[in-house]
Amino acid sequence: MSDNKIQAELRTDFGKGAARQARRDGKVPAVIYGHGAEPMHILLPAHETTLAVRHTNALLHITFDGGTHLALVKEVQRDIMKQSVNHVDLLTVRRGERVEVEVNVHIEGEAVPNAVVNLELNTLLVEADATELPESITFNVEGRDMGEHVAASEITLPEGVTLITDPETIVITVSEPQAMDLGEESEGDEASSEDSSSDSE
């Protein structure tokens, strides 16, 4: 989990035009919500925000209007062409509070030779302390044989993290490589060979 301190300012102008102007000024529109409070609209510095949201489940210490808010990044809207951040949704959290988040699953190690390892589920839904959220979860497939599969319940989670995803959900499978059907290609090659023979005659 990433922990960042960012100085923000209250957003007073709204609408698409105001949002575009804010981005031209190097700021990212954002909203903080949660705990039954009215949503707060703010502007974040673009450079620091872009760096912060590269991390999954980033936790931000946002200072504005004389106070500091602990907030979890929930959603990021990006401009794919410009590789920039357009808007950020933030969830207010408290120290000691447990929240549910999606955590990426990564595979390491090598299964038996020629086996194909497939990640069937890219993320797991877990619950953890808002200040101790894992950025990712890794499972080692070393020596796994063809035909084996790994359920969510078999993946070891960090201390204090609880699995919310159905424990029986298949996350990883190890299978035999699929043979390619070269029938049509072979027929084409055969036809090409016949044409070549005819040309030579």
Is 169 exposed, middle or buried, given 0-12, 13-18 or 19+ CB atoms closer than 10 A? middle
The C-alpha angle with vertex 148 and arms to 143 and 154, in degrees rounded to 5, equals 85
CA atoms within 13 A of residue 102's CA, in its CB half-sphere: 7
In 3D, which of 37, 82, 17 has the Cα closest to residue 29? Answer: 17
Instruction: Judge whether 40 and 32 are in contact, CB under 8 Å.
Output: yes
- Tens digit of each residue's pLDDT, the chain (201 residues): 455 888 888 888 787 788 877 788 888 899 998 887 788 898 999 888 888 888 888 888 988 877 888 899 888 888 777 777 888 899 988 888 899 999 999 999 999 998 999 999 999 999 999 888 888 999 999 989 999 999 999 999 999 999 999 999 999 999 988 765 555 555 555 555 555 544 544
CA distance 127 to 148: 27
Q: Among positive and negative, which fits the CA dihedral 125, 131, 135, 138? A: negative
The reported pLDDT for the residue numbered 106 is 94
What is the sign, positive or negative, of the torsion defined by CA atoms of 100, 104, 110, 113?
positive
At position 78, the amino acid (one-letter code) is R
Tokens (6 digits) for 84 = 């920039």
**pLDDT at 53 (0 to 100):** 84
Name all domains of the chain by residue range, CATH numbers in brackets. Answer: 3-93 (2.40.240.10), 99-175 (2.170.120.20)
The pLDDT value given to residue 123: 94
Asked if residue 69 lies in contact with residue 32, where contact means CB atoms within 8 angstroms, the answer is: yes
pLDDT at position 11, please? 81
Backbone angles phi, psi at 193, to 5 degrees: -65, -40
Give residue 180's pLDDT: 59
Contact between 91 and 34 (Cβ < 8 Å): yes
Q: What is the pLDDT of residue 189?
A: 55
Beta bridge partners of 120: none
Count of positions (residues) in the chain: 201
